[in-house]
Amino acid sequence: MLKMRFSRNLAGVTGATLVAFHGWLLASQFADGQLVDPWVVFRWVLAAALVAGLVAIRRQGSSIFGRKSVAIWVLAAMLHGPAIAADFGGAIDSPALPEVVATIALQLVKTAALSLGLWILAGLLAARNRRPRLRPQLASAFAGNGFPARGFAPPFAARPPPQHRC
C-alpha cells in the first residue's frame, strides 16, 4: 500500500515538473518572440495534440505507458529531436559522430538479436512444458487412431462393477 502511494506521488511530482518546465519554455519563447516562427508554433500545436491523445487513452481506462500509446511516445520523441539538435549546435558536424552512430547501431543490433534469441528460447521452453507426456509403455500401446492396441492390458485396471443382488 505504501509502495503504491509512493509511486503515485512520484508520478504526480514528475508530471507536475514536466508541465511546469514546458509552461516555462512556452512563456520564454513567447517573451523572446520565437512564436512568430511557423515551425515553432506547429511543434507546439503538435505537442498539444499528443497530450490530447494521451488524455484520450487515459480516459478509455488504458495506461499511458501501454501498447496503445507507443505511437504517441515515438512522435513525442521525434518532436524533441530539433530541440536536441539545436542544443548541440556545431557538434552535429563533428567527424566523430559517424563512429558514435555506428557503435550505437551495432550495440542495438546485438541487443535486439540477444533479446530475440531469448524470446524464442522462452517460447520453445514454454511449448515443451505444455505438451502432454505419456509414459513410454502407454505411448507404445496406443495405435495411431488413439485407441489401445489389440491385446494391451494397462498396468492398472478398474475394478469390476458390483454385482446386483435382487
**Tell me: the pLDDT tens digits for 8-56?**
778 788 888 988 998 998 999 889 888 888 888 998 999 999 999 989 9
For residue 3, what pLDDT is reported? 61
Compute the distance between CA of residue 64 and CA of residue 59 in angstroms, rounded to an integer.
10
Q: pTM here? A: 0.48
- pLDDT at 149 exceeding the cut of 70: no
Based on its alpha-carbon atoms, the radius of gyration of the chain, rounded to whole angstroms, reads 32
Compute the distance between CA of residue 40 and CA of residue 46 in angstroms, rounded to an integer.
10
Structure-block grid coordinates of residue 88: 548541440
> Which residue from 125, 128, 105 is spatially nearest to 117, judged by alpha carbons?
125
pLDDT one-digit tens code per residue, 55-112: 999 899 888 888 888 888 888 888 887 777 666 665 555 566 667 777 888 888 899 8
* Helix 70-88, helix 38-59: angle, nearest 10: 150
pLDDT one-digit tens code per residue, 122-132: 888 887 777 66
* Pairwise pLDDT comparison (158 vs 61), residue with the higher score: 61
